[in-house]
Amino acid sequence: MKAVVGFSGGIDSVACCMSLLKQGYAVTAVYLRLSPFSGDFEIERVKSLAARIGVEIEIKDARKCFEDLVLAPFRDAYSALKTPNPCVECNAAVKFPLLLEEADRLEAGFVATGHYARIVEEEGEMFLARGVDKVKDQSYMLYRLPQSVYHRLVFPLGGRFKKDVAGETEAIYPEFFTGVPESRDLCFVENGGAPEYLREQGMEWPEGPISTKGGEILGKHRGLGRYTIGQRKGLGLSGGPWFAIAKDSKTNTLFVGGPDELAATRVTCRKPVWRLMRTDLPHLTGQHRYRAGAVPVTLENPTLEGFIVRASDGRCFTGAAPGQSMVLYSRDRVIGGGIIESSERRGLGHDDRRHACSRETA
């Protein structure tokens, strides 16, 4: 059996290679050069680590593809005052297509990565499912992968816990991971986060008022593109606690409110992907951020254009922002998902505040 491994040089990709070698796979590591900050030092490091493990390595320059399919849409989304998730798009549009392409070129039947997720088979059907380690589970980031490639995907770490993987791998290769940070969500941002990256790309937003929904002006924001729904830090306001709850491009106003005003009970999504487009599945839940907990939901009006989820059992989604992904699960299986377009929140078109819903747990 031959497998291509997406190889970043981090603990998880190394552990992935080690696991496959133990299972008897012939392994070729593939390093995708995506970030503009992955220079010669990083390439030499992954080459050295692959040699130490005992696998061949291919270096593929994918920066142009990454720019066109991830970075450009990322900037466009921020221009529209949305909150994109570039990792989700990168996995579906860049990483896995390129790894599958390399696998075909090398006549390898399988593509493996160090993601904490699983491919499971039930009654002859294959599903993407949560990893056993619920804290590290990364199925959310992979939900847009097409079902047609599931039979070629291998996730050796999906049935393991991160702490065990890290401990074993560091014990064998301690010199390679000292001072090496975990992978970042925004691999293309070196310092300062998304706002600083966008400023360097020539994107600026004018200052404007920070207001409550009742019209009380509390301060001044530094540009709407610098804030995301649910943000608490960096608002520069006294009192509170205050959270960003809405952005109005017409008046250039950032609206803030208390935690109850972030509570969304109904979310509309577009650009769906479906594994099962059904409303009668057992234990149906929705997850609107990678680190958010799953919330019991009712699925409404699922189509090829979009869907609506309504939180049930007195629960709600805290800080659901346009541009983020809503991933749907039946038990641990991913059955679909889409991009959040809008949400109905307390304080935003809802006057009934008599019943506070309990927020999801992370």
The overall average pLDDT reported for the chain is 90
Q: Is 210 exposed, middle or buried (0-12, 13-18, 19+ CB in 10 A)?
A: buried
Give yes or no for residue 182 having a pLDDT over 80: no
Mean pLDDT of 7-24: 96
- Tell me which fold the domain 205-257 belongs to: SH3 type barrels. (2.30.30)
Res 189: pLDDT: 77
Give yes or no for residue 134 having a pLDDT over 60: yes
Q: How confident is the model at residue 40 (pLDDT cuts 50, 70, 90)?
A: confident
Res 352: pLDDT: 33
Largest CA distance in the chain: 66
Q: Which residues carry out catalysis?
A: 90, 187
Q: From the CB of residue 105, how many other CB atoms can be counted at a distance below 10 Å?
A: 10
Res 180: pLDDT: 63
Looking at the chain, which residues constitute the CATH 3.40.50.620 domain(s)? 2-176
Res 56: pLDDT: 97
Distance of CA 54 to the CA centre of its chain: 31
CATH superfamily of 2-176: HUPs (3.40.50.620)
Looking at the chain, which residues constitute the CATH 2.30.30.280 domain(s)? 205-257
| pLDDT tens digits for range 280-307 | 999 999 999 998 999 999 999 999 999 9
Res 183: pLDDT: 64
Res 185: pLDDT: 67
Res 212: pLDDT: 94
Q: How far apart are CA 126 and CA 141, in angstroms?
A: 18
Give yes or no for residue 207 having a pLDDT over 70: yes
What is the CB-side half-sphere exposure of residue 357 using CA atoms within 13 A?
Answer: 23
Give yes or no for residue 201 having a pLDDT over 70: yes
Give yes or no for residue 44 having a pLDDT over 50: yes
Q: Which two tokens stand for residue 9?
A: 């040089």
- Tell me which fold the domain 263-359 belongs to: Elongation Factor Tu (Ef-tu); domain 3 (2.40.30)
Q: How far apart are CA 264 and CA 33, in angstroms?
A: 38
Q: Over pLDDT 70: what percentage of the chain? A: 93
- Tell me the pTM: 0.90
Q: How far apart are CA 1 and CA 20, in angstroms?
A: 10
Cis amide bond preceding 206, omega within 30: no
Mean pLDDT of 228-244: 90
Q: How confident is the model at residue 174 (pLDDT cuts 50, 70, 90)?
A: confident
What does the chain come to in residues? 362
Mean pLDDT of 53-71: 95
Looking at the chain, which residues constitute the CATH 2.40.30.10 domain(s)? 263-359
